Amino acid sequence: VSRRGIRGNFVPPIKSNGSNTGNMTSRIAGNKSGDSLDESTKKCLEMLYGPDGELPEKLRNLEPRLIEHVSNEIMDKDPNVHWDDIAGLGHAKRCVSEMVILPLQRPDLFMGCRSPGRGLLLFGPPGTGKTMVGKAIAGEAKATFFYISSSSLTSKWIGEGEKLVRALFGVASCRQPAVIFVDEIDSLLSQRKSDGEHEASRRLKTQFLIEMEGFDGGNDQILLIGATNRPQELDEAARRRLTKRLYIPLPSSEARAWIARSLLEKDGLFNLSNEEMDVICNLTDGYSGSDMKNLVKDASMGPLREKIRQGVNIVELKKEDMRPVTLQDFKDSLHEVRPSVSPDELGTYEQWNKKFGSMS
């Protein structure tokens, strides 16, 4: 909700009647020592005030420092990834457009029978672009993007994870349309035996499912995207809420070529023939997108390493004296940068996709 008036001028959070913002903020946020809130916390809270000059209901009993953490650390104001930045994954892009982007843009058309699922699972090997897809969805739908990894919830926020989850969903509901991206969602919603399950993580999981239930079926324009490399660890409750489940596989050979080419071109280092690119593609079967990125990084060091071997003083080296990256640089780097996903793992994803995937 914007805090700006009709002419675009900032509307103070509290009508000027002599009371100070700190006191009001503290009353609203249920924090008795509100005067001690620092400026950045006050600023975050002010951004979230409704048109009535009050914090929305959902945020009232939350600790201001958690709201601030969500606003400053988890909310990404400019994810800056577009479909065109992502190699391959045409099927995922098409599916996501219909399922997520159009409904976020035209909620009126997607009601009743057409009402979309509010939970999307992206599964597949690490480094294949799941996070990029999440960011691109937010960008294309002009939605606010929230990124959290389950491991930070379970390790960094021990004992406070539940409160942080409430703050996350609370702030997202004030920033609609919103995309909440939960990385490694399996560690949050895993299929563990209930007696062996740690009490705190069980509570966290319950809180998370409650929050998801809260916006599913309602009018909120919030999409939850879970990403995982271990879909088989998700339990039935989690699968039920993540209604669309898209397999994000390893890049095809065209997609690998595209990634290598675009990274080198960006730095003005691309000078390989089509035949040489074909060789690189053949030699990189099984590499993920992020493996390709690491390979390009290593290969692009080739010309520099050569100069060092020749005893050139790098501090005085002129940029124009460097040769472009060659096929041999790639061949040398292939020994250093190995694929990170094993063929057995791929079999597991494919099986899970057949059983539970949306586009098998």
- Choosing from 259, 260, 269, 337, the residue that interacts with ligand ADP (CB under 6 A) is 259
139 sits near ligand ADP (criterion: CB under 6 A): no
- Choosing from 70, 86, 222, 257, the residue that interacts with ligand ADP (CB under 6 A) is 86
AA identity, residue 76 = D
Q: How far apart are CA 89 and CA 133, in angstroms?
A: 9
192 sits near ligand ADP (criterion: CB under 6 A): no
212-231 positions binding ligand ADP, by CB under 6 A: 227
249 sits near ligand ADP (criterion: CB under 6 A): no
* Residue 252 region by backbone torsions, left for phi larger than 0, else alpha for psi between -120 and 50, else beta: beta
96 sits near ligand ADP (criterion: CB under 6 A): no
131 sits near ligand ADP (criterion: CB under 6 A): yes
- Tell the smallest beta-carbon distance from residue 269 to ligand ADP (Å): 16
Q: How far apart are CA 184 and CA 4, in angstroms?
A: 37
Closer by beta carbon to ligand ADP, 239 or else 293? 293
Dihedral angle sign, alpha carbons of residues 79, 83, 88, 90: positive
Q: How far apart are CA 88 and CA 65, in angstroms?
A: 41
Helix, strand and coil content of the chain, in percent to the nearest 5, comes to 55, 10, 40
- Choosing from 87, 100, 101, 104, the residue that interacts with ligand ADP (CB under 6 A) is 87
Residue nearest to ligand ADP as judged by C-beta position? 289
| Residue written as token pair 């843009």 | 105
AA identity, residue 315 = V
Helix count (H) and strand count (E) of the chain? 17, 6
> Per CB under 6 A, which region of 268-276, 288-296, 308-316, 341-349 contacts ligand ADP?
288-296
Closer by beta carbon to ligand ADP, 34 or else 251? 251
130 sits near ligand ADP (criterion: CB under 6 A): yes
127 sits near ligand ADP (criterion: CB under 6 A): yes
89 sits near ligand ADP (criterion: CB under 6 A): yes
Q: What are phi and psi of 144, to 5 degrees?
A: -75, 140
- As a whole number of Å, the end-to-end CA separation of the chain is 40
Q: How far apart are CA 56 and CA 42, in angstroms?
A: 15
19-78 positions binding ligand ADP, by CB under 6 A: none
Residues within the interface to ligand ADP (CB under 6 A): 86-89, 126-132, 227, 251, 255, 259, 289-290, 293
